[in-house]
Amino acid sequence: MTIELYDTTLRDGTQGEHINLSVQDKLLIAERLDEFGVDYIEGGWPSSNPKDEEFFLKARKLNLRHARMAAFGSTARALDNIEGDPNLLGLIGSETPVITIFGKTWKAHSSKGLGLSDDENAELIYRSVQFLVAEGREVFFDAEHFFDGWKDNAAFAERMINAAVEAGASRIVLCDTNGGSMPHEVTEIVKRVREIVSVPVGIHAHNDSDMAVANSIEAVRAGATQVQGTMNGIGERCGNANLVSIIPNLMLKLDSEFSNVRDLKQLTSMSKFVYEILNLPPDSKAPFVGKSAFAHKGGIHVSAVMKESSLYEHIDPALVGNRQRVLVSELAGQSNIRYKAQELGIPLPDDNSLFRNLVNQIKKLEHQGYQFDGAEASFELILRRELGQFSPYFEVLESKVHIENGLDVRAVDQAVLKVAVGDEVEMTVSDGDGPVNALDKALRKALRGFYPEIRTIKLIDYKVRVLEEKQGTSAKVRVLIETSDGQTTWGTVGVSTNIIEASLQALKDSLNYYLFTNHSKATTAVPAEEAVRNS
Amino acid sequence: MTIELYDTTLRDGTQGEHINLSVQDKLLIAERLDEFGVDYIEGGWPSSNPKDEEFFLKARKLNLRHARMAAFGSTARALDNIEGDPNLLGLIGSETPVITIFGKTWKAHSSKGLGLSDDENAELIYRSVQFLVAEGREVFFDAEHFFDGWKDNAAFAERMINAAVEAGASRIVLCDTNGGSMPHEVTEIVKRVREIVSVPVGIHAHNDSDMAVANSIEAVRAGATQVQGTMNGIGERCGNANLVSIIPNLMLKLDSEFSNVRDLKQLTSMSKFVYEILNLPPDSKAPFVGKSAFAHKGGIHVSAVMKESSLYEHIDPALVGNRQRVLVSELAGQSNIRYKAQELGIPLPDDNSLFRNLVNQIKKLEHQGYQFDGAEASFELILRRELGQFSPYFEVLESKVHIENGLDVRAVDQAVLKVAVGDEVEMTVSDGDGPVNALDKALRKALRGFYPEIRTIKLIDYKVRVLEEKQGTSAKVRVLIETSDGQTTWGTVGVSTNIIEASLQALKDSLNYYLFTNHSKATTAVPAEEAVRNS
């Protein structure tokens, strides 16, 4: 069965708390959704805010490969002014091939909320849909509060969706607007609706009962052929149905097909991309795409996973572009360290005392608040130092930071560093945007004479987590830094009660890691035979 | 139908990434679970680590009202040494009334993983259960990988659970260990198992397909009477089935009953309590208990919610101890500000220009990165300042922070402040654990002569979020501070590219808010009549 994917990240998704997207952000997401193979992209509600109008104007210039753009809005407000209704005119003005309008299908909303008789509500739906269809648009009808409405008064709900179908709507989308329905109710009601209406039926679920994904899947099993949802399940309250979970479940578990999804392996990177644009931390526990989704912790368990993954993983993580991880943690046994070293491509000698030392060192650092799953470069430096393969490229002998601020005072953020490289000592001073930036600049200034290649690297992420938050301002903080040289990225960590000191630790690891990998590459000579072949 | 609640937060939950619980933490959670009305508390795997053994030793002294403690472990390792098996002896040594052991019910795990014939595996299960039953314990049998095992070879799976029942197990718990099953598969298989075994059946689901809650609910509808899960769905990979979602769904949607849950209103505070002990930020989107679960953002929507909540909320939030919120955000209309003011008990005059100013001011600050949903005290100060009800109790004229560190250098964290209170100017200096702590101490020192009451307040939470993380070390940071006077707590916010400056803003708001509420109370005279009545 071929299922249509209708994404509303850009409209319903933006109703979520902490969600803010600029027009440029929305255009970037739209392109990515198209690339992945979404069939419909709901871009916004043009009459509700000027940003959405600007989006539709610019979206016309996007070179979309498959996806059709949809604008969202409500039925007209009053029967005596359908053709002049600002909302409907806004939808037409958006110039999208598809228009999705919602209407009331729960009697209480129509009578109490809008003060309409049943006849009036049905006519409002009929004439609104008809007006848009006459303008040459494809119209999807979103049956708002459909499941609650059906349970309350099925005859009313049925009459309203029939009005939409008769007026020419090409899809009836059943909305669990309040998110309170259970899967068995969805199954039963979708089956009934399929018997009533001749056009394809869609499902639009919310996650207030933790059921949005299950309700969407059950609706498909009951005959729905369009699924609406958002990337990463963003949306109002508890969020919309999460397409990132629904898509692999449909493809891998239910053998559904999509017309345009070519490469399911893009799922994890698309999910990350959307989190990045949203400037939200990814949910590490997210099914299929989360960083922890295929991460194994227990010691016994890990050796079994290394033997045969399929016994401990419901799907091959590569199918969705994710990967297996073994967590180096308090629960770690030697097999975890071995696995991690293997993953990093570092051969380990069969020396048991070495393992014991490493496990103990990791345990001690983690007890102090270090964490290596976002900072594998710091972990690798520890491992290589223990193996005698790495020693630091520089030492920071002294750091001084000075900050001034006030009502009539010019702000000062200044860092002074004394850095040793081999036998030479270099002192530098720098201003910055805040103390950590000043330190960063002073450190690069001190090192660039010795290692000019550090000009090419750039900090791309900087995170601070307060540990033991109950300690208030005297709590320890953990700083995670991510750095890029344009080709690869690596993460490093620092921990201290002083955020400046923790940041400096992570900065030092970041530079050392880059210098280490760069110098290793430079000194690995290409074998003569291969050099000839490649020339 | 009465359903048993079996909580494994303290055992399976601790397999999750970033989850670490001390023995003391585990005891606190166990007490809270009992208080809430959980029937069984799985405390740990005694043979797997010494911490769990210590937990069971101390748990005996807990004065639990309803809950029965369970220890978890595997069947014996070898048939020739059941009575001497260290794992089984560890379970017996834990002295819990209930013991839960898992055994292989997926043929591949038994034959490939353990190298056992079918006969040997069945005998291992039978004799392990029998041995524990003979010791006078109630034994629950966890059928590991049951659903995958059944789909692969139902006869094998059936034989293994029958062996457990014949040996005296009082529950057969069907585990979806890899979390890959779909609800309709769970329904079908649970129904079949109910026909086979005479003892009550339980469900233990994992969330790898985003289906753990749905699978648990569907299992109950198919006849399972025990649900296993964890608080907040913590656990390995994507987590275990989330009891915090399952409990209200069962009670409010399916009319199930629990023997000991007296007050569902404790659900939200229990969820928060567990997050706090875990030192993890609560999931604001969590169904039922999340901070956003009943939060409304869209302007039109909000006025409708204020008219009649039930039309926009699937349950009354008070039923689970949560509350409705209106988000003051970029999408906010005047109705949102009105709602918020009403919530804070601040009467607003009917002055439209005042609203416009407020909305514009909030928009501007949010654009700069401020966020008020964790910082309502800062929001209230803005509102009251606009209404002419508040002016700051002090001004920080100058701040200087000095930090030194290095290999052979004594660490220095020093803050100097010049603070004005009315016409008086006070200069103070203080050391601290890190620069923010030094500032905090210096500010209190400057103010305590004027406002001695600030001695009683304490910072209880301090969070840092890096905004625009891509800016690296020059990114803006948002600091959220929570303060308590022992009775109530309040949150304040600061934003700057300089973390020290952002922290100082939040500290200033925190102290001003306390002084404002304290002074308002002091100057609100008790009406004479009421004073007499209360005397």
Residue-by-residue pLDDT tens, chain B, 535 positions: 899 999 999 999 998 887 878 888 899 999 999 999 999 999 999 977 778 889 999 999 999 999 999 999 999 999 999 999 999 999 999 999 999 999 999 999 999 888 899 999 999 999 999 999 999 999 999 999 999 999 999 999 999 999 999 999 999 999 999 999 999 999 999 999 999 999 999 999 999 999 999 999 999 999 999 999 999 999 999 999 999 999 999 999 999 999 999 899 999 999 988 987 886 778 989 999 998 999 887 655 666 776 777 788 999 999 999 988 876 654 455 667 777 788 788 887 777 787 778 878 887 887 777 877 668 899 899 989 988 899 999 999 999 999 888 877 788 889 999 999 999 999 999 998 888 889 999 999 999 999 999 988 888 777 777 776 556 666 788 888 888 887 777 889 999 988 889 999 999 999 999 999 988 765 443 333 333 333 3
Q: Does residue A327 sit at the B interface (CB-CB below 8 Å)?
A: yes
Q: Do B472 and A462 touch (CB under 8 A)?
A: yes
Neighboring chain A residues of B296 at a CB cutoff of 8 Å: 236-237
pLDDT value for A294: 93
B475 touches chain A (CB under 8 A): yes
Same domain, A46 and A114: yes
Q: Which of A87, A106, A238 would best serve as a mutation to test chain B binding (most B beta carbons within 10 A)?
A: A238
Q: Tell me the shortest Cα–Cα distance from B519 to chain A, in angstroms.
A: 25
**Which residue from A184, A285, A401 is facing B238, i.e. has the nearest CB?**
A285
Q: Are residues A158 and A30 in the same domain?
A: yes
Structure tokens at A320: 């969705």
Chain B residues close to A285, C-beta within 8 Å: 16-17, 207, 233, 237-239
Asked, for residue A272, whether it belongs to a domain, the answer is no
Complex ipTM over 0.85: no
Residue with tokens 């578990």: A253
Same domain? A258 vs A313: no
- Note which residues in 63-102 of chain B have CB less than 8 A from chain A: none
Distance CA A460, CA B510 (A): 32
Does residue A531 belong to any structural domain of this protein? no
Which residue, of B262, B283, B306, is where some domain finishes? B262
Q: Are residues B146 and B196 in the same domain?
A: yes
d(CA A477, CA A493): 10
Chain A residues within 8 A of B183 when measuring between CB atoms: 183, 214, 217-218
Cβ distance B400 to A398 less than 8 Å, yes or no, reads: no
Domain boundary among A345, A369, A393: A369
User: Are residue A211 and residue A338 in the same domain, yes or no?
Assistant: no
CA R_g for chain B: 29
| Whether residue B207 is found in the same domain as residue B326 | no
Q: Does A197 touch chain B (CB under 8 A)?
A: no
Count structural domains, chain B: 2
**The pLDDT value given to residue A473:** 67
Interface test with B, best of A210, A397, A430 (most B CBs within 10 A): A210
- Asked if B292 lies within 8 A of A238 by C-beta distance, the reply is yes
Looking at A321, A340, A369, which one is the last position of a domain? Answer: A369
SS3 string, A352-411, reads HHHHHHHHHHHHHHHHHCCCCCCCHHHHHHHHHHHCCCCCCCCEEEEEEEEEEEECCCCC
* A392 within a domain of the structure (yes/no): no
- Whether residues B249 and B324 share a domain: the answer is no
Given a contact cutoff of 8 angstroms between Cβ atoms, the answer to whether B312 and A179 are in contact is no
Per-residue tokens: B414: 């020093």
B469/A463 Cβ within 8 A: yes
Task: Give the pLDDT of residue B535.
Answer: 37
Domain for residue B178, yes or no?
A: yes
B11 lies in a domain? yes
CATH of residue B84: 3.20.20.70
Among the partner-chain residues B112, B287, B470, the one whose CB lies closest to the CB of A207 is: B287
The alpha carbon of residue A15 is apart from the nearest alpha carbon of chain B, in Å, by 6
Task: Tell me whether A277 touches chain B (CB under 8 Å).
Answer: no
**Mutation test of the interface with chain A: which of B11, B17, B77, choosing the one with the most A Cβ atoms within 10 A?**
B17
Q: Which of A210, A213, A501 sits opposite B245 (nearest CB)?
A: A210
Q: Do A208 and B287 touch (CB under 8 A)?
A: yes
From first to last of the 535 residues of chain A, give the pLDDT tens digit.
899 999 999 999 998 887 878 888 899 999 999 999 999 999 999 977 778 889 999 999 999 999 999 999 999 999 999 999 999 999 999 999 999 999 999 999 999 888 899 999 999 999 999 999 999 999 999 999 999 999 999 999 999 999 999 999 999 999 999 999 999 999 999 999 999 999 999 999 999 999 999 999 999 999 999 999 999 999 999 999 999 999 999 999 999 999 999 899 999 999 988 987 886 778 989 999 998 999 887 655 666 776 777 788 999 999 999 988 876 554 345 667 777 788 788 887 777 787 778 878 887 887 787 877 668 899 899 989 988 899 999 999 999 999 888 877 788 889 999 999 999 999 999 998 888 889 999 999 999 999 999 988 888 777 777 776 556 666 788 888 888 887 777 889 999 988 889 999 999 999 999 999 988 765 443 333 333 333 3
**Same domain (yes/no): A171, A304:** no
Same domain, B235 and B319: no
Evaluate the CA torsion angle B13, B14, B18, B24 in order and state its sign.
Answer: positive
Place of tokens 């100060």: B381
Measured CA to CA, the distance from residue A199 to residue A164 in angstroms comes to 10
Q: Which residues of B touch A105 (CB under 8 A)?
A: none
CB contact under 8 A, A473 and B397: no
Contact with chain A for residue B266, Cβ under 8 A: no
Same domain, yes or no: B88 and B37: yes
Chain B residues touching residue A470 (CB < 8 angstroms)? 460-461
| Closest to B442 in 3D by CA, of A403, A477, A431, A411 | A403
Closest chain A residue by Cα to residue B478: A464
Considering only residues 149 to 168 of chain A, which have any Cβ-Cβ distance to chain B shorter than 8 Å? none
| Inter-residue contact A146 to A105 (CB < 8 Å) | yes
Q: Which residues of B touch A254 (CB under 8 A)?
A: 182
Cβ–Cβ below 8 Å for B210 and A207: no
pLDDT score at B366: 75
Q: What is the CA radius of gyration of chain A?
A: 29
Please indicate, yes or no, if residue A419 is contained in any of the structural domains.
no
Residue contact A460–B437, C-beta within 8 A: no
Identity of the residue in B237, B295, B313 whose CB atom sits nearest the CB atom of A294: B237
Same domain? B190 vs B334: no
> Hey, are the CB atoms on B214 and A183 less than 8 Å from each other?
yes
Q: Does A429 contact chain B (CB < 8 Å)?
A: no
Which residues span the domain enclosing B311?
Answer: 295-368
For A312-339, letters b (16+ CB in 10 Å) and e give: bbbbebeebbbebbbbbbebbbbbbbbb
Cα-based distances in Å from A461 to A440, A483, A501, B187 = 13, 7, 17, 45
The whole-angstrom distance between residue A148's C-alpha and the CA centroid of its chain comes to 31
From CA B163, how far away is CA A40, in angstroms rounded? 53
In a domain, B395, yes or no: no
Whether B16 contacts chain A with CB within 8 A = yes
Let me know if residue A450 belongs to a domain: no
Q: Tell me, yes or no, whether B154 and B222 share the same domain.
A: yes
**pLDDT at residue A328 in the model:** 59
Q: How far is B339 from chain A (nearest CA, A)?
A: 17
